[in-house]
Amino acid sequence: MPSRVLRRRAATAFGIYGSALLGFAATVVAARELSKPDFARFALVFGTTSLLQLFVDLTIDEVVVKYGNRYAARGQWGRFHRLFRIGLTVKMAGGAAGSLAVVGAALLAPWIWTTGGLRGAMLIAALVPFVQQPEGMAGAVLLVRNRYDLRGLLLLWSMALRFVAIVVGARLGLLALFGAVVAAQVASTLTVGAVALAVYRRYPASAPEALAEDAPEIRRFAIQSTVASGLTSLRTSLPMVLVGVVATPSQTANFRAAQAPATAAASLSAPARLVLLAEQTRDVEHGRSARAYALLARYIGATAALACVVTPLAWWWMPTLVRWVYRAKYVPAADAFRVMLLAAMVQLVFAWTKSFPVSIGRPGLRTLGQALEIAVLVPAVLVLAHYYGATGAAGGVLAGAVALAAFWSFGLVGVRRRLA
């Protein structure tokens, strides 16, 4: 059993790190192949699409992971199958809402952003939220089955398709690029959905049953989880959108490039977060809360040590790294990269705050922490980006990350006492 768990964790890490590397490479290709104004448009379209997709979508997949584990542990297969059917319906409705929201943003783009020429690309990208939704439920199926290794490998496959789309499309222009991205997403959804369906059919067959007394609790959990996920999307996508409102296209492009350390940190923690969500949820539902907390403590210790080693080295070499990766035209953004590096290391150590509250059934705690982060981040990014461009915007992101870290540094004490 331990060897199988280790193999799955290794496969998960390989898949997620590989997908992160491809995602980073795709951004670098876009930055190098496109002009700075077009790269700013690329970043704003992707940022807006991601923001609206996550913000209007009901985060039912986390509910499915939590209660799917519960019903599987109790052998309540009728409720189990009903939960998954409801989840897929809700996800598709959320995807449709996300696509409509992106269309609305495209129509209003000339009055929102200082960068012009967004409408056509954004209308094409509006197809992505709806097409992508089945992947969310496919991922939930695999996590409940504890096959996070397959989830990681399929994520690598999806990102490989998107990477090819961006490499090909960037040479043909912005509209062609987003058309290729949509085609890649269709292919990804079909393949990931087929694998998840095969895994789902391995569960015991049973006629779907009403969720009965669990329904109100599930609705509350879904609402709380959705609010928290919406706030998470604000942290990751909103700064890009805000910078586009108050800064020049050149500074917008600089800030998008400077987000690389934060993207790398999120990618670095992604396999651990996936494992934590799957294993800690199962431990809590089977009465092994102490084990769940011990796993969390190991994660915090390892990432804190890593941050202490990486930060000074990356800070010193940042201008050279920027020149190597993004070419000389992005070297003026080196200070923005450095400030974002600090924010990224804080986010890395506290990345567990996305999954741990879900595992213990307290998504409201995640909501409170992220609401505080956003309350600090939004005004800080707007004001600092207006006066100091990309570097100021990175400072606003850092301020929000520090606020979240302070909240959970105190909050974890109370959580540990309850789990003891």
Instruction: Outline where 113-213 has alpha helix (H).
Output: 119-125, 127-144, 148-170, 174-200
The residues of the chain scoring below 70 in pLDDT are 1-5, 55-59, 225, 228-233, 270-290, 292, 295, 358-364, 413-420
The span from the CA of 32 to the CA of 35, in Å, is 8
Task: Count CB neighbours of 308 within 10 A.
Answer: 10
pLDDT for residue 403: 93
- Tracing tokens 């350390």 back to the chain, one arrives at 261
Q: Are 123 and 103 in contact (CB under 8 A)?
A: yes
Report the C-alpha dihedral over residues 354, 356, 362, 366, rounded to 10 degrees: -30
Distance CA 365, CA 371 (A): 10
Hey, what are 1's tokens?
């059993």
Place of tokens 């490479």: 25
CA-angle at 342, arms to 296 and 333, nearest 5°: 145
* Count of residues making up the chain: 420
Convert 320-385 into a string of H (helix), E (strand) and C (coil).
Answer: HHHHHHHCHHHHHHHHHHHHHHHHHHHHHHCHHHHCHHHHCCCHHHHHHHHHHHHHHHHHHHHHHH
Do residues 112 and 167 make contact, with C-beta atoms less than 8 angstroms apart?
A: no
pLDDT tens-place string over residues 329-356:
888 889 999 999 999 999 888 887 777 7
Q: Say how far residue 299 (Cα) sits from the centre of its chain.
A: 19
In terms of Cα–Cα distance, which of 62, 73, 53 is closest to 125? 53
Whether this model's pTM surpasses 0.85? no
171: helix, strand or coil: coil
Handedness of CA 112, 382, 266, 276 (dihedral sign): negative
Structure tokens at 229: 């996920």
Residue 1 has a pLDDT of: 46
List, for residues 170-197, the tens digit of each pLDDT value.
Answer: 888 888 899 999 999 999 999 988 988 8
Backbone angles phi, psi at 208, to 5 degrees: -60, 140
The pLDDT of residue 112 is 82
- Give CA separation, 19 vs 23, 154, 189, 264, 355, in Å: 6, 9, 16, 11, 20
Cα–Cα distance for residue pair 37/420, rounded to 1 Å: 54
Contact criterion met (CB below 8 Å) for 82 and 210: yes
Closest by CA position to 64, among listed 136, 161, 12 = 136
Find the largest Cα–Cα distance for the chain: 62
